[in-house]
Chain A
C-alpha cells in the first residue's frame, strides 16, 4: 500500500520536474532517491508499518509473499536505475524526467497486479503497466523500428486486453463476483462459462507473459524498443506479469486445476522449445535476449504448473535471478554500438571487470551452479518433480536448459576467446555497481535463504 501511493505521487512529481528541472543529473538523483525511499517503505510495511490506513478488502491485499515480490521488483528497479538511468538520455534528453514518471507509474501497476484480490484490479493493473510501456517502446520517435514496435505492441496488447475483459466477464457470469476470495468453482466445476472465462484469461496472461504460441510480438517489440526500455520490459515487468499469472491460477483457479494443469505443462514445454531453439539462430545479442526471455518464461511457467510452496519460493528466486542478470547484460548492451555477437569480440581486454560481470550473468541465465539462476531452475525442477506425473516435463526443461548454453556461451566466447577490440564507455561507478550486482547473483546462488527466509520471518 505504501509503495502504491508513494510511487504514484513520485510519478506525478517526476512529470512536473520535466519542465521545472532542466538538469538531468538532478532528475536522476530524485528518481534514485525516490526508489530507495520506496524500498524502505515497503520493507517497513513488511514489518507492519503502514503509512495509510485505507480499507481495500476485496480489492487488494498485501500478504508476505506479495510484499517480498514487490521488494524484489523495487530492488531490481533500483539496480536498473543505477546501471542504466544515464543511458536514457540517449533516447531523448528533453523527455528525460517523463521516462522516470512512466516507470514509476509502471511500478504502481506492478503493485496492483501483484496484490490483486479482485479481477477488476488485475485488469486495471495490467493496463497501468501496459500503457506506459507502449509509450516507452515508441519513445525513440525518429526511429522507424521503434515506431513499428510500439504500434505492434499496442495493437496486439489491445487485442489481448480485450480477451482478458471477456474472460473476466464470463467468470463474473459464472460466479456473480469479481472477488477472488468468493470464487467457488466446486459447485459446478464443468460450467462452460467458468471454463471459457478461465481459458480466455489464460490466453491473455500468456500473451502478456509472451508464452508460446502467443509470443510472436516479443522479439519484434524487444528488438525495436530502445534498449534501455527493453531492459525494463523484459525483466521487471515480465516478472510482475508472471507473479500475477501465478496468483491468478494458483490462488483463484485452484479448483479448476484439473482443467488447466495439463495445458499449462504443454504451454511450458512449447515455450521452452520455441524460445530456446529460435534463440540459437539469432545473430544479434539483443534479439537473442528477447528469445531467451521467452525461454526463461517457459521455466517460470513451471511454477504455475506445479502449484506448491516450493514453486512459490522458486518463482521469487527466479524473478530475482532472472531480473538482475538480464538487467546487467542489457545495461552493457545499451552502451554498445554493435549488437551482434561479434560486437563483443575481445571485450575482456578493455573491460575485464565488465566482462567478468557479464560472464556471471550469463552463467546465471544458463543455470550453472553457484549462481542464482541455477537454484532458481533447481527449485522449478524440484517443484515439477514433486507435483508428480509429469517427469517428462522436468527432463525436457533441463534438456532445453542445456540447449540454452549454446547461445548464451557465444557471448562468453566472443568476449574472452575471440580477437577484437570491443569497448564501451563505462564509468567506475557503473563498473563497480555491475560487479556488486554480479556478486549479489552469486550470493543468491549460494545462500538462497537470503530471499526465501524473508517469506517466513
Chain B
C-alpha cells in the first residue's frame, strides 16, 4: 500500500512545484525512475548523499514534473537489491533504474537488467567488470571504475619522484582491482612495488601489524585503498605509529573523502590522493553546484553527492534529447556529454563507463578545518575496452 502512496505523493509535490513555476506540461511522456540505494547499513550515508544529489539535478533542470521517482532500499545486500530491482521493473514498470552503491549489489542486478532491457545508471559501484567483461548496453556508469581512478596515479607517482612503493588495500574485489591498476601503471612507468598487503575486510580495524611491516620495507611511498571507517582508522594509525614522519602516504581519494576527513583530524594533513572529484575544484560549474547543494541540504557535497547529481544530469540530458521509454533512454544515455561539477564528462560509447578527469590533491589545514589543495590533474581518463562487447 505504501509502495503506491510514495510515488504518488512525490509526483503530487513535484507537479505542484512545476505548476507554481509555470512550466507544466512540456513533455508528453513521463519518465518513471527507480532509485535503488542503500538507506540502512554501512552505506546508508552514501545512499542519502546520492539521493540528495540526484534530486537536485532533477529540480535544477526544471523538468522535475516529468519524472516519477520510486525509492527502494537495497540494505547493501545483493539478494535484497536484486529482489528490489525486479520489483521496480516488473511491478512498478519503471523506465530506468538509478543508483547502486555496492559492487556486490551491482553484480547481482546486472544480468537481470540486461535481460529485462531496462537501462541502469550506476551512481557509485566501481567494479571494473561492470563496464568491462560484464558490460551491458543497458548499464551506464557515471561514477568511476576502480581502475580509472588508480591507473593514472601510477604514472603520476613515478613522475613526482617516487621509485619504490608498498601497496595496502582491503581484501575484497575493489581492493584487488585498485591495486592491480595502480601497480601495473607504476611498474610500467619504471617504479618498483616492494611489497603488497591485503588486509581482512570488515573485521577489527587494527592495521598496526601491517603498517609496521610496510614501514620495515622502507619504500619511498605507501599507496593504499581504504574507505569509510577503515580509512579513518588507517590514517590515524599511520600517524600515531610515527610512520608519517618517515614515509609519505598516497592513495585513492576515498582515503581522504570530504565525508570522513574531519574524523581523521590532523593525521590526514599531507596525505596525497587521486580522485574523480575534489570539492575545491575552482570551475564555475562546481561553484554553482556547491552553492546549490549547500542551499538544499545545509552541508557541503562529497564525491558521492556529485555522483548522484551526475546520474540525474545524465538522465535529464538523455530525456532532453528526446528519449522516452526504456530502449530510447538506454541508447541516449551512452551519448551524453557535458561539463559538470567535476569538469568535462561524457559516457564512453565503447564501454558505457564515464570519461572524466582525475584530480590529485593534498589534504591540508584550512581556515575551517581540513581542505583539499589541488596539485595535479589528468584529463579525460577513459578505461580500455577490457573485453566489453555489447
Pairing of A with B: no
